[in-house]
Structure formats: C-alpha cells, structure tokens
A and B are shown apart, each in its own frame.
Chain A
Amino acid sequence: QESVATPKRNIQLSNIVEECANGRRVSRVLELTPKKTQPDRAADDEPITPKRRGRPPSIAREQPVVLVDEEPKTPKRRGRPSSAGPSLSTPKSASKMKLIRSGAIKPNIHSRDAPVEDGANDLAIARERLHVSSIPTSLPCREKEFDEIYNFLESKIYDGCGGCMYVSGVPGTGKTATTTAVIRSLQQLSDDEEIPKFDYIEINGMRLTEPRQAYVHIYRQLTGKTLAWEQAYNLLDKRFTTKAPRRVTTVLLVDELDILCNRRQDVVYNLLNWPTLSTAQLIVVTIANTMDLPERLLMGKIASRLGLTRLTFQPYNFKQLQEIVMARLTGTSAFNSDAVQLVARKVAAVSGDARRALDICRRATELADDQSQKTNQEVTVSMVHVQQALAEMIASAKVQTIRSCSLMEQLFLQAVTAEVTRTGIEECNFLGVYAQFEALAAFSGITVPNTGRAMAICARLGASRLLICETGRNDIYQKILLNVSTDDVHYALQASKLL
C-alpha cells in the first residue's frame, strides 16, 4: 500500500512547495490541518470505510512536517491550534452533521407535554376515523387490484428473480395505499417464514430535490448512511451487478415516477435496468398518474425495460365512495346514510377522489359539532351539514367576490365587459376600458376617478384575479383580460344599484 501512496504524495507536495515559493498563497497549509486533527477524533465514533482510513490520514500527518522544514513561516503553524479554539460552533455543527450523515443521530421532533387523549364524543371518533391518514387495514373496493399486485410480488419473491410493474391512476384512487398494504401483508408472511425474506425500500419522486438523489435515498434505506449521489450510485451499482450468495430479494417502490424523468433519463434507466440483471434480485413497482407515461415520456429502451405488467386504478364511482366512507364509520352512528350518499355522488361526478370525499365528510362532522355545541344536544350529521360542507368546499366564490367589491370596482368590471362586447375580442386595452368607464359613470351620475386611480382599481382587481392585467409599466396601454365570464359579472351585479 505504501508504494501506491508515495507518488501521489510527491505530486501534491511539489505543488504546494511551488506555490509557497512563489509566495502566492499559504492558505493551503491551513486547509490541511483539519484533516489531521479531525480523523483522530472522529475515527473512534464514526465507522469509515477501510479504504479511507488507510491512506489519507497518513498523508496528512506527514505533510505539515515536511512543509515546516522547507518553509520559514513557522509562526503560522504555531498559531493554528489557538485560532481553531475560539470558533466553537463550527466543530460542533460539523461533527453533528457527520453524525447525522452516518445515521448515528435519529431524526426526531419535539414531543408534547402530555400525550393526546382520544375524544369520547361520537362525532369526534367519526372525525378521527374519517381523517385521510387513518388508513384501514383492508382497503374496500380494491380487492382485485390488491390480488394482482400481491400475486405479482409473491411469485417474484418466491422465484428470487427480478421484475418491474407499472401502476397508474388519477390522484386519490388508492394506488400507494394498496401497494403498501400488499407489502405489509407480505412482510407479515415473511416474518412467519412462509415466504423468503425480502428488503423493502420506497422512494418518492416528489420528496427528492433532483432525480439523482434517488440513489442517495435508496442507499440510505439500505445502510442508514448518507453519501453523495455519485458514491451512492457506484456502491449501488456494485451491489446489484456483482454476484453475492445469500442475497435477499429487494422490493423497491418508486412513487411519482414522472418526476424522476429528466432529459437524460439516466436515473429511470438505472432503476429499471437493475431488475433485468440476474444478480440483482430487485423488484421495482413504479407508481404514476398518467396511464400512457411509458409511451409518452420514457425512451424506447426504458419503456421496453418497464415491461407490460401494468395495472390501472379506475376512479371510484359513487357506490365505491359510499362504501369507503361507510367502512370507516362502522360502529358509530354519527352519520345519516343519505348524507354519505350525497357526498359520494357529488364527488364521484367531479373526480372520484377518495381524499375529497373523506375531507368533505370531516368538514360536515365539524359543522354538526358546532351545532351540537350551540344547541347543547346530540346531533347526527345530516343532509343540511353535508350540503353546507359541499358548498364550502366545491363552489367557487367569484360571484360573491364581485358583489363585495367597491362601487367603482364593480363599475370598472362592467366597463370591461362592455368593452369586450363592443370590440368582440377578449383582450382589451386600458384606454378603451377607461372610455367605457367614463361613459358608464356619466350614465350613473358618478364622478369618475382619474386614470391613476382607475389604474389602481385595475391593479386591485388584477391582484385578486378577477382581471388579468399586464404590468403597470405599460401604463395606459396595458392589456386587460376578463378572468370571469361576462355572465358572472351580470349575475353578480343584478341586484346592484348600478343597473
């Protein structure tokens, strides 16, 4: 080993000596010192790979000694330990960061004074169960999909080979919940030693700052250490490409696959290429929203590696949504069944998103709770509450916003609609609108604000996006677009004194 290290050291040394001789900089000498002092301290509590422990410290230890001989500026070195002394926060935070990266510090959040007690109220229990986060042990209405993923994973784990699967569907249709439920039940089986053991890793595209961080996350879940992505990639590549006896199967769940696709698509390629290697024993389940993502976004070679094992989650229809909500409510009598049906029908007509249905139901329980507090008696959630919750969470508020505008703002909106009708084009010019504004104001007997003030009105309406305006730099030539329909404006201003 020593013979390998020597030439490298010579090169480094000669560089430094040259720089110092020219008198250009001595800062390099300073930079070297932490290398000397830190590994000594950190080596005890931190497991470093043997490669690193072998060489670099020895170089670092020798270098300053050599330098001192050739360099007359000895005081620099003497001053060093004292200069490192006063700045206490750096070593503290640096060592802390090191501990975090090595996985020695467990991330945690501050704990509260006393643990939360569960509500005793029927409505409170219902509300807690209706929260999206409380996922039931068995997902209703997804039995078929569950079986399909289960069969796929179970057979792959049994055979000890690798494979890919692609799961798609619009948000809120139970993709991730079903997949994790499958894996949980498989883990249960492997704990009972009915199927072979396997590792489970999950990454989510949206939780990464860039696609390549996927390597870091995978590696961290395997070993607990945080490395730079290049290192993590090399180690992962080594792990999956080399043969190792007694390797267990790894199941990798990749959520939000479309975010991992950059222009080069190297990350997705690697993630889908590893399962094809016989040494890897990697099963990849990918989840995304669009059904035709492989054909639309991925390169041919990647789509080919993704294979044709695909599964699509359909949006829930109203019966399924009803069943989901009722399943969560078993045992409580907080809900009127008609009320649940109304929610299910309304949501199924818009998106078929289970999260939305649950959130609306939860809001309805809150409204019922308010009422029961007011009247001091038990209230079950009925149609009235659900209707109110639906109005709050689905309806848009444009009409009401127009109604609550000031008189001049309403007049200005009307001027914009008048200008749109006059010219026949959607986009109009501030000057034209101002002319209409003046005419309308004269008609209603109001003194019109000057252009500066009218522009301020325009900017205010633009800030709440009733209008879409250009920036103020264009002044009186700015283009204005109506962001609400003209019918909405007329409907809102019907009752107003302006007409």
Chain B
Amino acid sequence: MPVLQSEVDTTRKFIKARLLKDRASFHGYETERQHIRDLLQRTAELGESNSVLLLGPRGCGKTTLITSVLAELLPQQTFHRNTLIVYLNGLIHTDDRQALKSATAQMNLENAVDGKVFGSFAENLAFLLECLKAGDRKKSKSVIFLLEEFDLFCSHHNQTLLYNLFDVAQSAQAPICVVGITARLDVIELLEKRVKSRFSHRQIFLFPPEDDFDGRVQLFADLLKLPTEQQLRRMDATYTPIPKEALHNDELVLVRNLFNPMHFYRFSPKWVTEWNRHIDALAKNQTVKTVLKNIYDYDALEGPFRMLLLELVNGLDEDRSVITVESIQELGRSYEADDKVALVAGLSVLEVCLLIAMKHHSEIYDRDPFNFEMILTRYGKFANSSSTMQNIERSVALKAFEHLKNLELIVPMTGVGGGSKVLKEYQLHRLLLTYGQISQAVLKMQFLPTEIKQWAQSSLI
C-alpha cells in the first residue's frame, strides 16, 4: 500500500513521545492514587501535616504516579497558590547540607537570593526550622517535600533532615507533607527509633498486578495505537495545562514538558484506522503473543516494557512503514541473547584457546583459581600436538591473557595469592564464565579449526 513518508514519521514521533514523556496519564493503582491525591489535597487545602512512604519495585511507576497526581492538582488555583513543592533526590542531594540548601532555595526563604543560599550548614538548618516554626496551620503555605530515593536519605549523618521534617509534620508548625519514594521494602527498619516514631507509618505499596498476561497484551496494543479523532477531542476537553505561575520551582522537573497530544500531531483518519487495525491484528497473532509472554515471564513491570517498545518503534521508516511480526521476533531474540557469548565469539583463536584451557582447568579442579603459568602449560600441551597453533610465543600468550583480564572474562583474586605484589604471571585468577557459555561460543565461531573444536569437547589430547 502506498504510504506517505510524513505519516510514518509523525507516527514514530508520536509513539516515541508518548512512551517517553507521557508521565501525566496513569493507569491502574486507583486506590493508591486516590490515597496520595487526597493526602496532598488535604495538606494544601486544610493545612493538615502528613507523612507517607510510596514503595514498590523499580520501574512500577512510583514517580509517574506522583507526577500524574501533581499534573492533576497543579492546575487548580486552590492548590498551587497555597503550596510550595520541594523536590529532593537522594542521588543528587547526597548529604543534608546539599539537601537543605536546595530546600531553602526551592522554598525561596529570606536567606536565599536568586536561588543562591548563604550561610553555613548550621545556620541554614536553624533558619529553615525557625521559618517552619514561625508558620502556622491556618495562615502559612503548605510545603510538600518529595524525597525520591528515600533510602539514601536514611544514610545521612544522624538522619538530621528526616528527623526534622517528620518532627515538623508532627507538631503545630507550618503544614508540611513528606512523601518518600523508594524501592526498598524494608526502608522503615533503616530509620532511627525516634525518627521511626515520628513517621506516621502510612505506607503505600505499589504491586504490579499478579499474573496478568492479558493486561500486558492490552497494554502493548494501547501503547502502540494511534488516537482517533474522537479520542483526541475527548483528550482535548479533559486536558488542562499547568499554569506558568505554578511552575516557578526550577528543581521540580517532573511536571515539565509533559506530553501534549494535541499540539503537533495530525494524522489522516484513513491512516489511523489502518494502523490501529494492524496493531490489533498483531496483538492477536500467536507468534507475537509468545514473544510477549516470554518477556512478561521474565519481567512483569511496565517501565522496562515501554523501553522495549521504544526499540521497536525506532525501526520504523519509509521502507518499513509498519511493525511486523518479524521485527517483534527479532526483538525477542535480542532480548534473550547472551551478551557474554557474543563477546567470546568475537575473540581471537588464541584467546579462545586460553579460555578453553581455563575451562578444562576449572572442570578438573572444581573451579579452583589459576594463574597464567598453569594455563600456559595446559595450552602448551595442546599446542604441541596441534598442527595449527604450534609457534606462538609466550609473550603473545601473555598479551592475550591480559586482554581477557581487561574484558573481565577473568578476574584477579583478592587476598591470598592475588595481591598486586605477586608477579603477573603468577597472580591467581578466576573464570567469570559458565562452561555452557564457553561451549556455546565455540559452537558459534564457525571459523575455528576442527582441532580446537574437538579439544573444547574434551580435555584429553
């Protein structure tokens, strides 16, 4: 069928943007979302202080949930005029000093001028606490603290920041809401007992749905389908942009550049129906389902799955205007491929010979560590009897050995016999490959001499 180049381009751009930037629309977890939304709304409107932890495995949509709640609440005047949002990340704010500076700047307190905070750490802490203490429930703005990677904040000295935030939330001061986001389920056990007592023990768990393969196929179709005119119109009606004045905080990057389907993308209705019909057919195809099932069995979370689809969509161009069953199969194959085998298969013959020697050594001595001399002896026995590998010098073999070490296919032992004091020929090493991986790689290398292939099978020469 004749397809316009521009249609494919826009389709690719649209789906890519949706996969990457669509953090505002969120499906599933209705009760959890409602809980967080109510909590933030009550903090903003009634001046209630709260603390909550959002827990769930990596890639299940914790940040997306918060973003979608904020994208829903921020357009409301009653919300954004009465709240300050402070975003802290455990990976960026690695100690309380930095976290405090950033919080002070984001709250735009008196000691911050144009985002620069003055004074020492002690002064900053004292000033922030005085400010919060000076506020009261009825008159001052609510502050929402979002602490991403919450578990990393627990490792700060004395947990000063956490203690103070939770303490403010539990005393009659400015209303604040502390939202911690983390993947660690046992994070509460990391808190000191006085910090733990001040935490309200509200934990919201995000569990991915159990054994829901049909849901995954549905998601596959939903993420790849294009919106019809009708859907676009409905989206347009519900879409409320976040006003400029609500986005004064530079650090709150979550709610910036949210996906807006209305602005750029125009499709002809005919193309949309055609494309959607094709995607529906794909979702019903048994081969596609098998690939999806394999992926689902391995990883049930939505985040990684979206990234996989991105790879699929990236391949679209004028020659391949639709997603084919073959491209999905290809994706499944590359998903399951063993990278280490591919790495070994690209090595030179000498290096593979050394690896085979290491494999034999490990098999015989039950994964005991080895050094270069042992491997060279074992290899030498083979090389003497072989017709192709006879005249290889010792220094060349040592170079090959070091190359294997640099690729981290073997690692030096730490401790006894592995220290840097030992000469490199005698340093003990361990093999980081399973025997299966080596045999697979040998099978994969078509150009290997038959002798070597036979030697790989058995250590007898």
Which chain B residues have a beta carbon within 8 Å of chain A's beta carbons? 34, 38, 45-49, 55, 57-58, 81-82, 84, 96, 107-111, 113-114, 116, 118-119, 121-123, 125-127, 129-132, 134-135, 137-143, 158, 160, 163-164, 167, 170-174, 183-186, 193-194, 196-198, 200-203, 205, 207-211, 296-301, 336, 338-341, 367, 408, 411, 430, 432-434, 437
Of chain B, the residue at the smallest CB distance from A132 is: B170
* With contact pairs A210-B122, A465-B184 given, residues A116 and B137 touching in the complex (Cβ less than 8 Å): yes
Question: Told that A110-B141, A450-B437 touch, could you supply 9 new A-B pairs with CB distance under 8 A?
Answer: A119-B46, A351-B197, A355-B200, A359-B202, A363-B202, A400-B207, A406-B296, A457-B298, A475-B432
A453 touches B109 (CB 8 A): no
A286 to B: closest C-beta gap in Å: 15
Q: Give the residues in chain B near A401, CB-CB below 8 Å.
A: 57, 185, 205, 207
Partner of A109, one of B109, B121, B158, B198: B109
Minimum Cβ distance to chain A for residue B191 (Å): 11
Q: Tell me which residues across on chain B come within 8 A of A355, comparing CB atoms.
A: 170, 197-198, 200
Q: Does A423 sit at the interface, judged by CB under 8 A?
A: no
Which 7 residue pairs spanning A and B have beta carbons closest together?
Answer: A171-B197, A406-B300, A107-B130, A404-B207, A450-B338, A109-B135, A407-B297
Which of the listed residues B55, B194, B339 has the most CB atoms from chain A within 10 Å of its own CB?
B194
Q: Which residue of B lies closest to A127 (CB)?
A: B48
- The answer on a CB contact under 8 Å between B122 and A453 is no
Question: Which residues of chain A have a CB within 8 Å of any CB of chain B?
Answer: 89, 92-94, 96-97, 100-101, 105-113, 115-116, 119, 124, 127-128, 131-135, 170-172, 206-210, 213, 216-217, 220, 226, 256, 259, 289, 351, 353, 355-356, 359-360, 362-363, 366, 370, 392-394, 396-398, 400-401, 403-408, 431, 434, 446, 449-453, 457, 460, 463-466, 475-477, 483, 497
Tell whether, in the assembled complex, residue A131 and residue B49 are in contact, meaning their CB atoms are under 8 Å apart.
yes
Task: Please name all residues of chain B whose beta carbon is closer than 8 Å to the beta carbon of A207 when the two chains form the complex.
Answer: 125-126, 129, 160, 164
Contact in complex: B116, A107 (CB < 8 Å): no
| CB pair A451 B437 closer than 8 Å | yes
A105, chain B: closest CB distance, angstroms: 6
A100 contacts B127, CB within 8 Å? yes
Q: Is the CB of B202 within 8 A of A392?
A: yes
Q: Which residues of B contact A133 (CB under 8 A)?
A: 49, 137, 170-173
* Number of A-B residue pairs at CB separation under 8 A: 226
- Distance between Cα atoms of A104 and B118 in the complex (Å): 16
Q: Which residue of B lies closest to A226 (CB)?
A: B123
Query: Given A356-B197, A452-B340, A460 and B58 touching (CB < 8 A)?
Result: yes
CB distance from A389 to the nearest CB of B (A): 10
> Which B residues are in CB contact (< 8 Å) with A110?
84, 107-108, 140-141
Q: Can you name 26 A-B residue pairings with CB atoms under 8 Å?
A: A92-B113, A94-B118, A107-B109, A107-B110, A110-B108, A110-B140, A132-B170, A133-B173, A171-B196, A207-B125, A213-B122, A216-B126, A289-B193, A356-B201, A362-B200, A393-B203, A401-B205, A408-B298, A431-B367, A452-B338, A453-B298, A453-B336, A465-B185, A475-B408, A476-B433, A476-B434
B201 lies within 8 A of A393 (CB):
yes
Question: Which residues of the partner chain A approach B113 to less than 8 Å between Cβ atoms?
Answer: 89, 92-93, 96
In the bound assembly, the distance between CA atoms of A220 and B126 in angstroms comes to 11
* Given contacts A393-B202, A463-B184, A112 and B82 within 8 Å (CB-CB): yes
Residues from chain A with Cβ under 8 Å of B173 in the complex: 133
A427 to B457, CA, bound (A): 33
Contacts A109-B141, A449-B298; A397 near B205 (Cβ below 8 A): yes
B111 touches A209 (CB 8 A): no
| A314 vs B367: C-alpha distance when bound (angstroms) | 58
Q: Is the CB of B338 within 8 A of A106?
A: no
- Closest Cβ of chain A: how far from B359's Cβ, in Å? 14
The interface residues of chain B lying within 8 Å CB-to-CB of A101 are 123
Point out the residues of chain A lying under 8 angstroms from B167, CB to CB. Answer: 206
Q: How far is B126's CA from A97's CA once the two chains are assembled, in angstroms?
A: 13
Given contacts A133-B170, A213-B122, A446-B297, contact A359 B84 (CB under 8 A): no
Query: Is the pair A206, B163 in contact by a Cβ cutoff of 8 Å?
Result: yes
User: Which residues from A are CB-within-8-Å of B110?
Assistant: 96, 100, 105, 107-108
**B185 near A89 (CB under 8 angstroms)?**
no
A112 / chain B contacts, CB cutoff of 8 Å = 81-82, 139-142
**Contact at B138–A93, with CB atoms within 8 Å?**
no
Bound-complex Cα distance A392 to B200 (A): 11
